[in-house]
């Protein structure tokens, strides 16, 4: 089990998320912070692949949106999720995005339905992602700039490359 993240760091994470931009300042997001081990374990099987790490993280932040507040709620929640991850990195924490929307668990049940049931999320809200936060186990090498795919950058108009 991971080490607990201090309340001060959690507050900084949430400040970053709450300051993330949203279309027309609609702020369609809500955030559910989960640190209970049993609930983390339950969330870790909410989708077939890629969620197991939630079981042993320090904190899971479930990113939930209100589609009635914005027609681009998916984009707004995506930005908030990334702001959380960038802040985690800045604080020296590790993070991992766990996609929930449009995913299924091992039994084929919609992952979003599973998470909504576990966390008592009202029906009119949608679950975009769970951001797993914890202490870094190892430092990774920085991205090798020699491997940047400059061929995917186009100036003025799209140019076909082969």
Hey, what domains does the chain have and what are their CATH numbers? 7-152 (3.40.109.10)
Mind giving me the DSSP string for 112-153? HHHHHHHHT--TT-EEEEEEEEEE-SSPPPPP-GGG--GGG-
Predicted confidence at residue 143, as pLDDT, reads 83
For residue 119, count CB atoms less than 10 angstroms from its CB and return exposed for 0-12, middle for 13-18, buried for 19 or more.
middle
Mean pLDDT of 138-158: 88
Name the pLDDT band for 162 (thresholds 50, 70, 90): low
pLDDT in tens, 21-68: 999 999 999 999 999 999 999 999 999 999 999 999 999 999 999 999
Predicted confidence at residue 2, as pLDDT, reads 55
Predicted confidence at residue 4, as pLDDT, reads 87
């Amino acid at each position: 089990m991971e080490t607990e993240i201090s309340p001060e760091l959690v507050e900084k994470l949430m400040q970053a998320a709450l300051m993330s931009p949203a279309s027309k300042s609609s702020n369609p997001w809500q955030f559910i912070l989960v640190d209970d081990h049993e609930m983390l374990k339950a969330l870790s099987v909410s989708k077939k692949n890629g969620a197991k790490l939630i079981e042993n993280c320090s904190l899971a932040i479930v990113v939930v949106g209100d589609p009635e507040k914005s027609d681009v709620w998916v984009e707004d929640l995506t930005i908030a999720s990334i702001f959380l991850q960038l802040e985690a990195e800045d604080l020296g924490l590790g993070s991992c995005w766990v996609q929930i929307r449009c995913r299924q668990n091992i039994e084929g049940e919609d992952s979003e339905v599973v998470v909504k049931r576990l966390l008592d999320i009202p029906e009119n809200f949608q679950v975009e992602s769970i951001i797993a936060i914890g202490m870094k186990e190892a430092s990774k090498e920085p991205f090798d700039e020699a491997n940047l795919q400059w061929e995917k950058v186009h100036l003025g108009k799209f140019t076909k490359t082969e």
